[in-house]
Amino acid sequence: MWGIEKAKELMRTFLGGESENPAEVALLDDAARESVKSEFEETVISDIKRKYEERRTQRNPIELQMRLNINFFNGDQFTRIDAYKNDIEEVLPLNEWEERNAFNEIAPSIETRLAILSKRKNNLKNRPASASSEDRTSAKIGNKVLASTRTRLGMSELQQEAAFIAGVTGTAVYKTVWDKSAGRVVGFEVRNMSEEEKEISPLKEYEEMLLGNDKRVVYRKIHEGDVMTTIHSPFEIFPENISIPCRLQKRIMHVVLMSPEEVFEKWGVIEEGKEHETYKIMSSDNRAYGSSITGRSSGFLLTTVEVQNVVKVYEEWEMPSATYPAGRLIICTDEHLLFYGTLPDTYGDNGEYMLPFDVQQSMKTDGFFGTSVVERMIPLQIRYNSVKNRIQDYINRVTIGVLVAEENALVDEDYLLDNGIEPGSMIVYRRGANAPRFMTMDSLPDDVSREEQDLLSAFDRYSGVSQLAKQSTVPSQVTSGVAIAGLSEQDDTRIGLEAENIKQCLIRVGKKWLNLYHTNVSYPRMVKELGRNNEFEIEQFVGNDLTSFDVFIESEPESSDTLSQRRQKVVELLNGGLFNDPETGNITPEGRAKVFEMLELGDWESFVEAEDDQKRRAQRENNAMITGEPAQIAEYDDDIIHISVHNNFRLKAEYEDYVRKTPELDQIFEAHVNEHIAALQKKAEAEQMMNTDAPYIQRSTMSPATFGGVQ
């Protein structure tokens, strides 16, 4: 370990004594201070690189298995792990003539699992800390924060990416931090370029002419900061101990390759890009493995490649300890120490420090890295490829044929060996010898076909998805509708464990979101949520408004339910009268809108009555008055509906909390409601006057002869 004590030791060395007097330390001249700083940075960087190599060696067996999983998923299925070389090697064919095709059954199985998992929306919700009105209001704000953050980060796409990585390798890692370079731009930093910067990034002559005197000025944007969640493959993560889960880890290292421009943008350090090795999926070329007659399919191979002009950045995250009560975060490259300090954020409900990583495992284990369904299907895939290729070899023998001839019977054996027997060709053999003939082939044994079917059934069992899910067809022996529904439910049941792992991981990520906003938002910030009918709901909050960090995922229909099944359930509910008004027995407008939503029949807003439009306008007025914006009544407003919506909102505990913070808000709502009442009275008086004047208007339009007058 190193840190403050190491720095003191280095300083004592330069002072030439053992004194720790701050006054003596202050006597260090600039050169000595720079030397101490330089040696300390070298010590830190050297220690980080040593830990990186140790953890990489510790993780290597798991990394080899993940690489093999990727190969088999991508179709490069004639590879294996060489324990002696500690690498992935190609399995060479025994003979040049044998078929070497890959009949990939792993990829469709994984893709089907991902399709089933993608049906789950996994919407995060915030549960109130208590039944008090303040906590209920806080939970509503938390729900808007979670929904807004989910939309801003594009979590639907991130979830699919994480599910794919975890489905193939067994592990995907979420990283959640407070990114100071995200959010709205609130200012700019202007400074002059240093000589080192100008040497590394020289300007061309035409650029100097365009920029003029500003060629030495650097502009950096200053952002308000925001939550950032990213997905990372397990190849970038190096835990201290791979045998324990993520929540028990004391130190985790994240290693990533960045461009020099990105390093400068984040830390203001200039470092020249170099060549570094990284894992990359490349196309596997048949020509690299000999003749194409082997039948080896063009797949993909995960291999190490050299990437140009990148910088390797190490991030060491360390949990609090007796030596470092606030934890430690060390960020460095191979040459520069970019950051050395305490953990930047707290993620715990009570302000505890936590690491920013959350692990999503495909198949749960007691260690840091999970396992993949691909791993259990690899032996099946190898055997299946062997059976299919042997069948193809048999077909080749039957269709092409095997010629049998006596020794020295053929006149030109070399020609036949090189060119085979063409249709219509003439075979010349020596006089007295028996004529060449084709060998009679026995029929393919039934055991081979049974073995092929058994392997396909085993794929369904091992992958957790049935033939119904993968091929949209039912087994030939299944004819009952109840049995078919049962198969569909079994798919969802067998994939339920992975779905639950995803839920628990997302819940931990959602808790981090709320804690980061609670800690870092000290001034009012607007959050927008897109509600029903594409209506924006705007909320203003500060970090202290978030009092509950209990995140859960709201219940939703099982992913096995098809659209037709859900619609059938809606029809049953309609027939049961669950959407009807208990007093009138008729379906309510709210119930009708809910039915259209559940049926998923498209854009049916045109069927919504004008009353709903009036309610939504009144709700927009509520949101405007809460934020301090004026809400003007209009001639076309239905004042009765508006008064009802405004008063119903004033009865909620949420409104009481707003009034408690802003007392004048009650007067604003009272004045607005009074305007609607006055407008309503004015409209009633006008209507009464029209009804009173109606007979006179009618008489004035009649002719005088009607009343016996003289024309």
Alpha helices for 130-287 (secondary structure H): 133-153, 155-169, 195-200, 205-211, 260-267
Say if CB 334 and CB 428 are below 8 A apart.
Answer: no
Report whether 387 contacts 431 (CB < 8 A). Answer: no
What single-letter DSSP state applies at residue 170?
S
**pLDDT at position 339, please?**
92
Rounded Cα distance, 341 and 324, in Å? 10
Which residue in the block uniquely carries the two structure tokens 């990186």? 52
Q: HSE on the CB side for 204, CA within 13 Å?
A: 2
φ, ψ dihedrals at 229, nearest 5°: -120, 130
Phi/psi for 649 (5° steps) reads: -70, -35
Q: Mean pLDDT in runs of 10 for the chain (711 residues)?
A: 48 47 53 74 92 94 92 88 86 82 89 85 86 79 90 91 92 93 76 58 48 55 87 93 94 93 83 77 46 38 72 94 92 92 86 92 92 93 92 85 79 73 75 80 84 88 70 53 52 77 93 92 76 57 84 67 63 70 67 66 49 79 82 86 88 81 86 90 81 49 36 34
In whole angstroms, give the CA distance from residue 422 to residue 405.
Answer: 17
- Give me the long-range contacts of 197-205 (CB less than 8 A, separation at least 24): 197/270, 200/260, 200/270, 200/272
SS3 content of the chain, % helix, strand, coil (to 5): 50, 15, 30
Please report the pLDDT score of residue 477 as a whole number. Answer: 55
pLDDT value at residue 298: 43
* Cα atoms found within 13 Å of the Cα of residue 289, Cβ hemisphere only: 25
What per-residue confidence (pLDDT) applies to 515?
Answer: 92
Token representation of residue 376 = 């259990």
User: Using CA atoms, how far apart are residues 484 and 467, in angstroms rounded to an integer?
Assistant: 11
In this prediction, residue 428 carries a pLDDT of 80
- Looking at residue 66, its pLDDT comes to 92
- Judge whether 316 and 330 are in contact, CB under 8 Å: yes
In whole angstroms, give the CA distance from residue 177 to residue 442: 67
List Cβ neighbours of 436 (8 Å cut-off, separation of 6 or more): 403, 404, 405, 409, 410, 427, 429
Instruction: Quote the CA–CA distance of 537 and 549 in Å, as a whole number.
Output: 21
- Cα distance between residue 319 and residue 327, in whole Å: 5
Q: Is the pTM of this model over 0.85?
A: no
DSSP state of 107: H
